[in-house]
């Protein structure tokens, strides 16, 4: 067709108030400033094209456009605690790990990379901090010898976390850094037993049952008498008390369930003491990483409601829903959606954590039934996988001839 019949006009059916479309060119633009990827990463925009200049009698067609927000560095790192408690033996050698802390950054990739530094405190001479490139943890280590329990029993450090890559466009939202105080207690050591390692790194699954063995520490008395060694946890630095240690073997076990979504790392101190002289003790730091298991079923990102017209046509999209999974990506990398077969509605899984609910046959009547509750089953990609169910509330409404 030519002339006015071929002139197309574009309009947006779904996606407001976040996006707009230019009527003549079809260019989609953002309609709101400062959209936040951390709050919502993906949007489904439905565009209608109508010929005859958009006048009555023109033919129309629709398409769905997926808009994904890319990440920018607009979030600073934040410490979940203002004060951290750690401890180190006065006999520890340089390089020993004193403890770990983590400043959470909601950005991803290089935008979420964090560097740590000690900016103040009376312990700057003895301690240093570096970034674990794998976990983005700040690892505090002993820098040099010279700690003396009898002279000074604690040090304070002021630790600063900074974003590695700063985006100049968002400097006004700064500062892109945070600080926390670390109190390092010096533990007494008078010819103590020697641990096989000054620091241990162990792992345990979240939700592990009571009595699960996490790992084992070993210490030996190198004195002439080779006194037997017994173990205990320093409760002054383990307020949560998730673990116990067998006195004779040094095996560390769980004493209550762990939830990775609440506690991802546990730092404890294990004390070894000579049986013949309990005053002769030493300690080792044990950092325990809580591994994620698939213990969170997927759920709706928000409560969803939809409206459908009495004269809605088969295949018409009435709602796009999104699911979230609070587990790590290894236990929830993809989500699938399904609904039980029914004559009224069908579901299209978009394979990106979203799904579109469409009209199946149509022919709705408010007088016969004005409300539908559609259960949607969501399954994650964990092993074994978990399923969750959300209910979409659909209200039947009377609409004009155009729907």
Give the pLDDT band (50/70/90) at residue 330.
Answer: low
CB 272 within 8 A of CB 283: yes
pLDDT at 299 over 80: yes
pLDDT grade, residue 57 (50/70/90)? low
Residue indicated by tokens 């020697």: 194
In contact, 164 and 113? CB cutoff 8 Å? yes
Average pLDDT, the chain: 86
Q: How confident is the model at residue 33 (pLDDT cuts 50, 70, 90)?
A: confident
Spatial contact of 101 and 140, defined as CB atoms under 8 Å apart: yes
For residue range 180-211, what is the model confidence (pLDDT) as tens digits? 999 999 987 667 889 999 999 999 988 899 99
pLDDT of residue 75: 76
pLDDT at 325: 84
Query: Which candidate, 101, 21, 110, 100, places its Cα nearest to that of 67?
Result: 21
pLDDT band at 172 (very low <50, low <70, confident <90, very high): low
For the chain, the structural domain boundaries read: 9-68, 83-187, 194-291, 299-397
Let me know if the fold of 9-68 is the same as that of 299-397. yes
Please report the pLDDT score of residue 259 as a whole number.
86
For 275-400, strand residue ranges (E) read 281-291, 299-300, 305-309, 317-324, 336-338, 345-349, 354-359, 371-379, 387-397
* Cα distance between residue 338 and residue 207, in whole Å: 29
What pLDDT digit, counting tens, does each position of 332-385 carry?
Answer: 557 889 999 999 999 999 998 899 999 998 889 999 999 999 999 999 887 788
pLDDT at residue 177, as a whole number? 87
Taking only the tens place, the pLDDT of each residue in 160-169 is 998 878 777 7
In angstroms, rounded to a whole number, what is the distance separating the alpha carbons of residues 91 and 185? 13
pLDDT at 70: 63
d(CA 380, CA 324): 9
User: Average pLDDT in the 101-120 region?
Assistant: 84
The pLDDT confidence band at residue 314, using thresholds 50, 70 and 90, is very high
CA-closest candidate to residue 332, choices 370, 386, 269:
386
User: 273 falls in which pLDDT band (50, 70, 90)?
Assistant: very high
Residue 332 has what pLDDT?
A: 56
DSSP for residue 6: G
Whether the pLDDT of residue 249 is over 70: the answer is yes
Tokens 């002289």, residue located: 277
Residue 8 pLDDT: 85
DSSP codes joined into one string, 189-255: -SS--EES-SEEEEEEETTPPTT-EEEE--EE--STT---EEEEE-GGG-SS--EEE-TTT-EEEES
Q: How much is the pLDDT for 118?
A: 96
pLDDT digits over 281-291, tens only?
Answer: 899 999 999 98
CATH of the structural domain 194-291, one choice from 3.20.20.20, 3.40.50.620, 2.40.30.170, 2.60.40.60: 2.60.40.60
Q: Is the pLDDT of residue 228 over 80?
A: yes
- The two beta strands, 177-187 and 83-89, are parallel
Q: Which of 24-38, 70-84, 206-220, 222-236 reaches the highest mean pLDDT?
A: 206-220
Pairing mode of beta strands 251-254, 336-338: unpaired
Q: How confident is the model at residue 73 (pLDDT cuts 50, 70, 90)?
A: low
Q: How many whole angstroms separate alpha carbon 292 and alpha carbon 396?
A: 43
- pLDDT over threshold 80, residue 35: no
Give 367's DSSP letter.
Answer: T
The separation between CA 279 and the C-alpha centre of its own chain, rounded to angstroms, equals 44
- Measured distance between the N- and C-terminal CA atoms of the chain, rounded to whole angstroms: 26
Nearest of 358, 354, 371 to residue 300 by alpha carbon: 354
pLDDT for 223 equals 62
pTM equals 0.43
Is the pLDDT assigned to residue 25 strictly greater than 70?
yes
Residue 386: is its pLDDT beyond 90? no
> CATH for 9-68, among 3.50.50.60, 2.40.160.100, 3.90.120.10, 2.60.40.60?
2.60.40.60
Kindly report the CATH number that applies to the domain delimited by 83-187: 2.60.40.60
Residues 206, 260 contacting (CB under 8 angstroms): yes
Share of the chain above pLDDT 90, in %: 48
Hunting for tokens 């633009």 — which residue is that? 29
For domain 299-397, the CATH class is: mainly beta
């Amino acid at each position: 067709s030519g002339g006015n019949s071929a002139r197309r006009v574009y309009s947006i059916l779904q996606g407001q108030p976040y996006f707009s479309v230019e009527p003549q060119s079809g260019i989609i633009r953002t309609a709101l400033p400062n959209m936040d990827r951390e709050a919502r990463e993906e949007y489904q925009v439905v565009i209608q094209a109508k010929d005859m200049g958009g006048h009555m009698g023109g033919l129309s067609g629709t398409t769905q456009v997926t808009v994904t927000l890319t990440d920018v560095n607009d979030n600073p790192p934040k410490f979940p605690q203002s004060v951290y408690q750690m401890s180190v033996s006065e006999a520890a050698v340089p390089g020993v790990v004193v403890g770990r802390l983590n400043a959470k950054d909601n950005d991803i990739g290089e935008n979420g990379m964090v560097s740590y530094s000690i900016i103040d405190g009376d312990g700057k001479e003895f301690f240093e901090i570096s970034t674990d490139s794998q976990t983005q943890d700040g690892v505090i280590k002993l820098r040099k010898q010279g700690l003396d329990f009898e002279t000074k029993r604690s040090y304070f450090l002021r630790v600063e976390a900074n974003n590695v890559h700063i985006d100049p466009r968002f400097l006004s939202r700064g500062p892109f850094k945070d600080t926390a105080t670390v109190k390092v207690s010096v533990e007494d050591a008078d010819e103590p037993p020697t641990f096989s390692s000054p620091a241990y790194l162990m792992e345990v699954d979240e939700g592990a049952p009571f009595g699960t063995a996490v790992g084992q520490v070993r210490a030996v008395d190198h004195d002439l008498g080779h006194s037997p060694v017994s173990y205990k946890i320093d409760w002054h630095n383990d307020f949560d008390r998730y673990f116990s240690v067998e006195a004779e073997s040094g095996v560390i076990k769980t004493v209550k369930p762990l939830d990775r979504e609440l506690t991802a790392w546990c730092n404890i101190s294990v004390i070894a003491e000579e049986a013949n002289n309990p005053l002769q003790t030493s300690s080792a730091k044990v950092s325990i990483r809580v591994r994620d298991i698939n213990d969170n079923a997927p759920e709706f990102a928000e409560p969803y409601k939809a409206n459908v017209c009495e004269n809605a046509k088969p295949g018409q999209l009435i709602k796009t829903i999104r699911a979230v999974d609070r587990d790590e990506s290894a236990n929830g990398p993809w989500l699938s959606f399904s609904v039980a077969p029914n004559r009224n509605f069908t579901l299209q899984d978009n394979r990106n954590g979203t799904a579109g609910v469409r009209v199946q046959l149509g022919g709705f009547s408010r007088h016969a039934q004005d409300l539908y509750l559609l259960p949607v089953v969501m399954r994650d990609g964990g092993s074994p996988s978990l399923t969750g169910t959300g209910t979409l509330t659909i209200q039947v409404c009377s609409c004009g001839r155009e729907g």
